[in-house]
Structure formats: C-alpha cells, structure tokens
Chains A and B, each alone.
Chain A
Amino acid sequence: MTFVLAHLNYWVVVVLMMIGLYIVVSRGNLIKKIVGLNIFQTSVFLLYISLAKVAGGTAPIADERFTVYANPLPHVLILTAIVVGVATTSLGLALVVRIREAYGTIEEDEIDLQDDEE
C-alpha cells in the first residue's frame, strides 16, 4: 500500500502522457494534435515537479522559520521548459495556419489525398 501511494504520482503522469501520445497518433486534425502534444508536455512537467517535492518541505523561498524546502533545481528547469513549450506551440499553430492557407484543410488524410492527386 505504501508502495502504491509512493508511486501514484508517477502513474498519473504516465497515464496523462499516454493520453497525449494517443491523441497525437490517432487523431488526424492538426490542432488537436498540438493540444495532445501540450498534454504530453504538461505530464513531463508534472513528473519533474513530483521529483522535486520533499515531504514536510515548503516552497523554496528562504525564511528563517523553515528549514526544509522543496528542491529548487527542477522548478528552474520546468520554468524554462514551460516558456519554450509555448514557443513551440505557437510555431506549430503558425504552421497549421499556413497549411490551411495552402491546402484549405487541417485534416491530415485530406492533405495526403491532395498530395497524391498532384
């Protein structure tokens, strides 16, 4: 039972990651694929932040009333990753808008069909 509780967070992360991966792989709509990528990304963030949690600790802001803090290093990495994630999302959406202007659709199979016809 303690083993399950100690690993539950990681399993939630895996489930979220797989939902994201499934959306990316199985759905043909490009915007939905990007949303799936975002879900995948957030699950990785959650994994890092779960690793940084220290039992009985507090947020890593120094104060003489506390001695135990969460690990600040993963927090820094994930802060960077969130912002980079938005940059990639916006790039992906720009590509989708371009594809829609060129093909008139954002469904993967219709794009393939048009490519075959040419």
Chain B
Amino acid sequence: MFLAVTGFAILRLHSLFAVVMLSGVYSLIAAAMFVALDAVDVAFTEAAVGAGISTVLMVGALSLTKQREKIPVHTPLLPMVVVLVTGAALIYGTFDMPNFGDPDAPANRYLVDRYIQESPKEIGIPNIVTSVLASYRGFDTLGEVTVIFTAGVAVLMLIGGARRRRRPDSRAGPEATRE
C-alpha cells in the first residue's frame, strides 16, 4: 500500500531531486516488505543496493544534468489506455495463480525439499540461499558478475570517452570545475 502511494508521488512530482529521493524511500519500503515475506537475503540486498547505491548513482547523474522536469505538454491519453489494458490483462492472468503462501504450489514443490534437506549437509552452511547462489547455481552468479563487469566497462567508455572529447568551449558541468 505504501509502495503504491510512493509510486504515485513519483509519478506526479516534477522536481527530479524529490523523485530520486522517493525512489530510495520506495526501495526501503520494498526491502521491509521482503522481510515480511521471509526473504531476508533479498531484503538486505535491496536495502543496500536499491536504496543505497542506486540513489547515490541517481544523485550523481542529477548533479551532471538538471534538476527539474519539464511539464508534459501532450495529453497522456494513449499511454493511459495502453497501461489500463495491459493491467487488466495481467490481473486476469493472476486469477490462475496459486493462492498466496500455498505450500503445495508447483513452484514450491519441485527441487525445493532437496535443497532444504540436503544443502546444510552438502555445503556445510545453514543459509540455504547462500548455498544455492554460490554452489548449485554458481554459473548463474558467474554470468551475473560478467554482466556487472560489462556494464562497468560500458559506463567507463561512455563517461570517460566524453571527458576526452569535450571541447574547451562546451558547457561546463560541475565535473569540469573539479578538474
């Protein structure tokens, strides 16, 4: 419920700084919700990465761009129709979903009992999420690291390359004054 309110506030506000701060608040509420849903590992990752690093990145990007959003001129009728139709289709899709918290749902039956019973013995650590992440699905995590590395290299190419290309007569950002 809080999440929806924060989402609407982000939609309505035009001050980008407030929007970025609210997105941090949104991540933090999402993290609290993950704790309530028994996903503690996900919750602390979301709190650290979603509420922390994302917000820092966004504030950094804001300092290099401008602070206010232009008021939209054209009528948002078409997007609204698209969104409502998609939303209705998705809600219709949830009618076939298993009940919330149902232990017999297909997703909660397959392979899970084995992880819960065997992983503390096989891996030797009590946290099942960590065992699955680092051991059974280690290749996934390796792929994840590759993605992060690629993203890091791409960011450096984009921003670092821009600094070299910048001419002396171009717009001076806060970054230029630092140099």
Q: Residues on A close to B: CB < 8 A?
A: 2, 5-12, 14-23, 25-29, 31-32, 34-36, 38-39, 42, 45-46, 49-63, 68-76, 78-80, 82-91, 93-98, 100-101, 104, 106-107, 109-110
CB closest residue in chain B, given A93: B61
CA of A14 to CA of B93, assembled, Å = 10
For residue B168, CB closer than 8 A to chain A, the reply is no
Contact A19 B45 (CB under 8 A): no
Contact B148 A87 (CB under 8 A): yes
Contact A71 B107 (CB under 8 A): yes
Contact B158 A31 (CB under 8 A): no
Chain B residues positioned under 8 Å from A11 (CB to CB): 91, 94
B102-136 near A? 1/0 per residue, CB < 8 Å:
11010110011001100110000011110011000
Using C-beta atoms within 8 Å of the partner chain, give the interface range for chain B.
35 or more
CA of A56 to CA of B108, assembled, Å = 14
Interface of A is mostly: helix
Chain B residues positioned under 8 Å from A83 (CB to CB): 45, 49, 144, 148
Contact B158 A97 (CB under 8 A): yes
CA of A17 to CA of B91, assembled, Å = 11
Contact B38 A57 (CB under 8 A): yes
Contact B108 A71 (CB under 8 A): yes
Going nearest first, the 7 A-B pairs with the smallest beta carbon separation are: A55-B101, A87-B151, A6-B99, A70-B38, A26-B79, A10-B94, A93-B61
| A104 to B: closest C-beta gap in Å | 6
- A83-B148, A88-B151 known; A94 vs B158 contact (CB < 8 Å): yes
| A50 to B: closest C-beta gap in Å | 6
Contact B41 A29 (CB under 8 A): no
| A27 to B: closest C-beta gap in Å | 6
CA of A69 to CA of B38, assembled, Å = 9
CA of A110 to CA of B162, assembled, Å = 21
- A29-B69, A45-B30, A68-B103 known; A16 vs B3 contact (CB < 8 Å): yes
